[in-house]
Amino acid sequence: MKRTSRDIRTANRYEVLRQIIAESPTSRQELAAATGLSLATVATLVGELLDLGLITEVGFEDSAGGRPRGLVAANASGGALIGVDIAETYVHVELFDLALNVLARSDEDMRAGESRPEQVVRHVAAGIGSVAARAGIEAARVLGVGVSVPGQVDRDTGVAEYAPNLGWHDVPLLGLLAEHIAHPLYLDNPLRACTVAELWFGAARGRGDAVVVNLGTGVGAGLALGGGLHRGVSNSAGEWGHTTLVLDGRLCHCGNHGCVETYVGAPGIMQNLRELSPRSPLLHPDDQTATIDALARAAAGDDPVALGVVRETARHLGAGISDLINLLNPEVVVLSSWVAARLGEPLLGEVRRAVARHALRRPLAATEIVLSPIPTDPVCLGAATFALEGALRSAGQRAAKRTTTARGRTAPPS
């Protein structure tokens, strides 16, 4: 509900670390200027982050006439974070240092029918073992593992509640993973992972309100409002893929008709291709990835069928994005995830034109539409960021406990 002073402290701690990771080395004075926090607050938070080993002192810089200023930087070697991206067609695992550089990655493809929970858990455990071995990281240095799984998740209980594209209902994923993995585990979905990645490292960093449109097999719209992820009252905000775009339109696996996802998710784009050119050689009937790749290559080469499919996809996507712009009045809309990354500039151009036709003048003028600038898998990066946030939160709780215990009182319930 309302933000408590503990929430504000946590948000400020994220903000300072985010800024240090983005601009290392940096001084407390620069951090205060960049975050709008007071120098005293910044000094306290920097002290906490130094104590946690997440950042490190790296020397001094001269300040004009004054005392030399201490510089801090992300402590790349202070620990490792792992991000896991479970998708309908693959499992990606990446291992990061604390500056969020990728040290090792593992990609495993999954074929249709290979996505039973125990199969996926084996892929994830193998991937984690593989990246840790390749990066030469001891288990004790892994601060946490963030796991992203499509659909609706309960991050408190670690249950994947509903993942229609995987055929999962109420799978206790973190429980299953914990049998193989000893690190702290954090569950969320690709939509929120992409959004947090943009908020910390991408196009939403330092911006006001942002919408991260996630185009994969499924489709969602992550909301970064007021500098933080908008989760909603039961952590399911962003389920934009099932917005009705065409009343009585294409049947969706959710049971409704005309959902955005049925026109702009990977299977929807395949359907757009089928309707435009049923025998197109671009179509790989059983392989989304191959079809989107073929479309991307052909569109880059000005193939008229591929451009037609991109235009038809963008017509629907642009109408839906216009509605988001009108409703939320964001500063930036980011096109993210693998379908957006592959279709790239041709898709972006057509979406911008479609939005310009649809959206209201005032919010349109305030909004920029961009492709995600994150060069690696944004879902792995975002999942690793959830692990980093988790490590910061539990460190904060331990610190609060020490303080109150030292004063001879028990910690108040939060």
If binding is defined by CB under 8 A, does position 366 make contact with a copy of itself? yes
Span of 54-62, 99-107, 233-241, 382-390 interacting with a copy of itself by CB under 8 A: 233-241
- Please state the length of the chain: 414
CB atoms inside a 10 Å sphere around CB 156: 8
Region near a copy of itself per CB under 8 A, out of 73-81, 271-279, 360-368, 399-407: 360-368
Report the amino acid identity of residue 6: R
Q: Does 253 bind a copy of itself (CB under 8 A)?
A: no
Contact 143, 82 (CB under 8 A): no
**x-or-dash pattern for a copy of itself, window 67-106, by CB under 8 A?**
----------------------------------------
Say what the alpha-carbon torsion angle 85, 87, 90, 93 is, to the nearest 10 degrees: 0
Closer to a copy of itself by CB, 112 or 327: give it.
327
- Residue 393: CB minimum distance to a copy of itself, A: 18
Q: Which of residues 159-188 bind a copy of itself (CB under 8 A)?
A: 161-162
Q: Judged by CB, which is closer to a copy of itself: 127, or 320?
A: 320
Choose the stretch contacting a copy of itself; rule: CB under 8 A; options: 275-283, 295-303, 314-322, 396-404: 314-322
Q: Taking the complex as a whole, how short is the minimal distance between the CB of residue 98 and a copy of itself, in angstroms?
A: 23
CA–CA gap between residue 190 and residue 222 (Å, rounded)? 9
Q: Which residues are within 8 A (CB) of 342 and not within 5 positions of it... i.e. 6 or more apart?
A: 292, 293, 295, 296
142-148 sheet: strands from edge to edge: 102-109, 90-97, 80-86, 142-148, 185-188
Residue burial 215-227, b: 16+ Cβ < 10 Å; e: rest: bbbbbbbbbbeeb
Tokens at 21, concatenated? 């990771």
36 binds a copy of itself (CB under 8 A): yes
> In the beta sheet, which residues pair with residue 332?
210, 368
User: Per-residue x/- marks for a copy of itself, 325-344, CB under 8 A?
Assistant: -xxxxxx-------------
Binding site for a copy of itself (CB under 8 A): 1-5, 8, 15, 35-36, 38, 152, 161-162, 206-209, 221, 223, 225-227, 230-240, 242-247, 249, 254, 256, 258, 319-320, 322-324, 326-331, 358, 360-363, 365-367
